[in-house]
């Protein structure tokens, strides 16, 4: 049985064919683009037109760019989607067009690169947790992906800024702004193991506030964090140049692809503007935790 979305697409294509009398080739081109979008939505368990929001449309267009589709072709996809949703609005099937506020690709900033979930999983399995440094490195990788922290935030994160029982960390971001970021079960377990079996050996009796320590027992540097990520990416056989910021982009992209609201993800990343701050004040830590567990693939 066809989903609601596919039925609406057929309805729209018939409108193009009969009422607008578009050429056969044009209708086939519209059909191809709309069905590509419908397949993308279906993989994300969305089959109703009314369920589609701007987040899904943006995620679809971003996936095209990531797959090497050029700007002109993405522009065509957006034009086709706008035509479809505008028609759905005029027919009062939906109340608002989810693509109305999306800018054309020519005005986009360069899309950030990110890893697939499979690539991240493979990378996170590389550290040898039978060694002290392997335990530390595994905790670092898990927290990078679980939280989307910036490299400076990871380097400066102190032990009193994490709460493993309640499952969150509190980094200081740009402008020394504090935020609360949930952590999933995988990251919590990795950090707990590091605190039990790795950190004390690295500290060697020294009192150090920072969570992640270097081989000599001091605060781990940003350069070393960068090297750790590159090392395990190569070990996992990932050919592209993986950076700490790419893990941050992967964190955000995977959340959005699984249905998380863009504004919530912005808040977790610390991209604070007035609107995001207002939303933040109305979200409790428990609500954040529930959202995180629902949408993050390793929660």
Q: How far apart are CA 170 and CA 183, in angstroms?
A: 10
Q: Which one is catalytic: 44, 82, 113, 271?
A: 271
Judge contact between 153 and 173, C-beta under 8 A: yes
Q: Which one is catalytic: 136, 138, 179, 248?
A: 248
> Hunting for tokens 């605190």 — which residue is that?
195
Q: Which one is catalytic: 8, 138, 150, 179?
A: 150
DSSP 160-224: GGEETTTTEE--B-GGG-B--EE--HHHHHHHHHHHHHTHHHHHTT----BSSB-TTSSBPPHHH
Instruction: Show Cβ contacts of residue 73 under 8 Å, excluding neighbours closer than 6 positions.
Output: 64
What are the CA-CA distances from residue 16 to residues 64, 116, 125, 199, 295 (Å)?
25, 37, 51, 65, 37
Q: Which one is catalytic: 17, 230, 280, 298?
A: 280
Q: Which one is catalytic: 245, 258, 263, 298?
A: 245
Give me the count of residues in the chain: 299
Q: How far apart are CA 20 and CA 18, in angstroms?
A: 6
Q: Catalytic annotation on 174? A: yes
Q: Catalytic annotation on 77? A: no
Q: How far apart are CA 31 and CA 16, in angstroms?
A: 10
Q: How far apart are CA 234 and CA 143, in angstroms?
A: 19
Q: Catalytic annotation on 15? A: no
Q: Catalytic annotation on 282? A: no
Q: How far apart are CA 93 and CA 273, in angstroms?
A: 34
Q: Catalytic annotation on 248? A: yes
Active site residues: 150, 174, 245, 248, 271, 280
């Amino acid at each position: 049985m066809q989903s609601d979305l596919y039925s609406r697409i057929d309805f729209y294509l018939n409108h193009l064919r009969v009422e607008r009398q578009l050429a056969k080739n044009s209708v086939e081109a519209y059909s191809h683009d709309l069905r590509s979008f419908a397949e993308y939505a279906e993989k994300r368990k969305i089959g109703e037109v009314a369920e589609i929001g701007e987040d899904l449309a943006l995620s679809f267009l971003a996936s095209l760019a990531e797959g090497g589709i050029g700007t002109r072709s993405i522009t065509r996809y957006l034009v086709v989607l706008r035509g479809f949703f505008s028609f759905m609005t005029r027919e009062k099937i939906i109340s608002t067009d989810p693509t109305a506020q999306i800018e054309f690709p020519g005005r986009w900033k360069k899309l950030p690169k990110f890893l697939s979930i499979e690539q991240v999983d493979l990378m996170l399995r590389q550290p040898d947790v039978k060694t002290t440094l392997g335990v530390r490195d595994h905790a670092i990788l898990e927290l990078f992906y679980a939280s989307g922290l910036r490299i400076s935030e990871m380097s400066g994160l102190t032990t009193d800024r994490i709460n493993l029982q309640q499952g969150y960390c509190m980094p200081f971001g740009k402008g020394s702004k504090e935020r609360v970021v949930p952590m999933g079960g995988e990251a919590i377990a990795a950090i707990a193991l590091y605190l039990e079996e790795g950190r004390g050996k690295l500290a060697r009796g020294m009192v150090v506030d920072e969570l992640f320590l270097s081989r000599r027992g001091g605060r781990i540097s940003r350069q070393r964090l960068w090297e750790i990520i590159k090392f395990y990416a190569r070990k996992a056989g990932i050919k592209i140049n993986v950076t700490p910021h790419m893990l941050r982009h992967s964190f955000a992209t995977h959340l959005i692809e699984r249905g998380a609201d863009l504004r919530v993800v912005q808040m977790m990343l610390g991209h604070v503007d007035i609107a995001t701050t207002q939303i933040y004040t109305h979200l409790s830590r428990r609500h954040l935790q529930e959202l995180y567990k629902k949408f993050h693939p390793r929660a």
